[in-house]
Amino acid sequence: MPAALELIALPAFTDNYIWMLHDGVQALVVDPGEAAPVLDALQARGLRLAAILVTHHHGDHIGGVAGLRAVLEGQVFAPPHALNPQPCEAVQNGQVLTLLGQRFEVLGTPGHTADHVSYLLKQASEAPLLFCGDTLFSAGCGRVFDGSLAQLHASLERLAALPDQTRICCAHEYTLSNLRFARTIEPANEALARHEAWCEARRAGQDPTLPALLATELLINPFLRCREPAVKSAVQARLASEPCAVNGDADEPLAVFSALRLWKNEFR
């Protein structure tokens, strides 16, 4: 049987997390925007770096790859994009990678960028782990850069269909900011209020609010709740007072999602 893996969130920059998985001997990291936190963690735990997984080509996700090459014993895996660090092995939707004795499924999750991928680890005796970069955040989702709103909505629908116990390992500690926006959409949502209180306590102790639980996200994340009457009503009221360019009927999930994402872009 494969060794049990430990999951560690390594803080980077102001609000990034570099996710590390290790079996006590070897480790892999996801989206190393900086090399130093990874090198420090490897040295402190006496680990060898077996692989690097990249979800997309933004600098705060790939900036540390060059600095890790000297200690990397395996490969860099990344979607095929000219800006991703070379050499790397290009990955695509449906591909399965065997790393640390485990199988990681590559999920195409475009929208934030057109090439974005996520990595899903299904473990026999543990909840699944989803490394989703900037596609899905706790109580939120990524902005659209060179992808499209339709792509991002479809990607979130795909992730929402994963098992409820899936642990969401996203790349940023945006949770409290996202929850403030979510409360604007659903002020009467009691699950949201409870989760916000829990997250505030976590951050007060300088602890991560992540990984998030998908079952919780389905109750609190407006971008996964575009079919809920309260979310649709909030969007329709917003559109009535401040129209924006949204394709389709304002009652349809994609139109609701698009209006939400545009609204969040301006939210302070």
Active site residues: 56, 58, 60-61, 112, 134, 172
DSSP 8-class letter at 187: T
Please list, in sequence order, all residues whose beta carbon lies within 8 angstroms of the beta carbon of residue 151, skipping any fewer than 6 positions away.
110, 111, 114
For residue 215, which amino acid is it?
A
Distance CA 13, CA 91 (A): 27
Distance CA 144, CA 130 (A): 20
The residue among 101, 104, 100, 102 whose CA lies nearest residue 91 is 104
Distance CA 28, CA 24 (A): 11
The residue among 217, 212, 220 whose CA lies nearest residue 189 is 220
Provide the b/e sequence for 115-130 (b: ≥16 CB within 10 Å): bbbbbbbbeeeebbbb
